[in-house]
Amino acid sequence: MKKVLKIIGIILIIIVIVALILIGIDYFRVRNGEKPILESMSPTIKAVVVEANEKSMIVMGIEGESGLLSSGFGKNGNIGFKQGQEILIYFNGDIMTTYPAQIGNVEKIEILKEKSDIEIPTTYLRYCYSSEHNVKVTVNELTTVGMTLSIVDTNELPYEYTTRYKINKKVKNEEYTGKGEKIGEDTEHSTSGYTRNRT
């Protein structure tokens, strides 16, 4: 029993000595403008900024974690992030599976390059800078064989939409009383339905 306690004591002393050595090394590294060893062990994501606003930003992950990611700014806040910068994000290791995926508890972010060599795909730029809310569609003419539309798109990047369309005819059932039991189902082209009055 005494031998086991002695071994445990020696192990604890070794752990304390190693911790003190790491703290001492980190102290001198920070004084010399280097990263602390303990910080360099934090999970990181290398990324390119796609869009930055007041509270957060959308980035494109590179080297391992790819695709669009949503990121907070960490303890230093927005230090002048802008599109095209290559950055290194220190975080707690959590990534929430939303779209874009959310990086959990960002500790800090370093700017590695003001202009990354990696080009941002147009699809990512369109996701951030193109919205259906900036597209106004007006029906100018509607006939039984077609229609004429006016489309005004004020997006920075044009919004993608199809040139195909379909016209659904809304059918009113004259016998429908609004009461009773519905028979059948509404379809893609009809909202008529039928009812049978209950007695």
11-63 pLDDT, tens digit each: 888 888 887 787 777 666 666 666 555 555 578 889 999 999 888 899 999 87
Same domain, 117 and 61: yes
**Among 83, 104, 54, 74, which Cα is nearest to 157's?**
83
What's the pTM value of the predicted model, to 2 decimals?
0.56
Calculate what percentage of the chain has a pLDDT beyond 70: 74
Same domain, 120 and 137: no
Same domain, 140 and 104: no
How many independent structural domains does the chain possess? 2
Mean pLDDT value across residues 90-112 = 88
Q: Is residue 8 over pLDDT 90?
A: no
Q: Is residue 74 over pLDDT 60?
A: yes
What does the buried/exposed string (b/e) look like for 72-105 if buried means 16 or more CB atoms within 10 Å of the residue's CB?
bbbeeebeebebebbbebbbeeebeeeebbbbee
Instruction: Tell me, letter by letter, the H, E, C secondary structure of 10-32.
Output: HHHHHHHHHHHHHHHHHHHHHHC
Same domain, 54 and 117: yes
Query: What's the mean per-residue pLDDT of the chain?
Result: 79
Instruction: Tell me, letter by letter, the H, E, C secondary structure of 68-126.
Output: EEEECCCCCCCCCCCCCCEEEEEECCCEECCCCEEECCEEEEEEEECCCCCCCCHHHHH
Q: Please report which confidence band the pLDDT of residue 190 belongs to, taking 50, 70 and 90 as the band edges.
A: low
* Alpha-carbon 78 to chain mean position: 18
Q: What integer pLDDT is reported at residue 149 of this predicted model?
A: 84
Same domain, 116 and 170: no
Tokens at residue 23, please? 């703290």
DSSP 157-171: SPPP--S----PPP-
Q: What integer pLDDT is reported at residue 174 of this predicted model?
A: 63
Residue 189 lies in a domain: yes
Q: Is residue 199 over pLDDT 50?
A: no
Mean pLDDT value across residues 99-103 = 88
Q: What integer pLDDT is reported at residue 175 of this predicted model?
A: 61
Residue 61 lies in a domain: yes
CA atoms within 13 A on the CB side of 146: 4
Q: Is residue 193 over pLDDT 60?
A: no
72/96 Cα distance (integer angstroms) = 13
Segments forming the whole domain that contains residue 137: 132-196
Q: Is residue 1 over pLDDT 80?
A: no
Dihedral over Cα of 135, 136, 140, 146: its sign: positive
Q: What integer pLDDT is reported at residue 188 of this predicted model?
A: 59
Residue 140 lies in a domain: yes
Mean pLDDT value across residues 152-180 = 73
Tokens at residue 60, please? 């494109």
Q: Please report which confidence band the pLDDT of residue 187 belongs to, taking 50, 70 and 90 as the band edges.
A: low
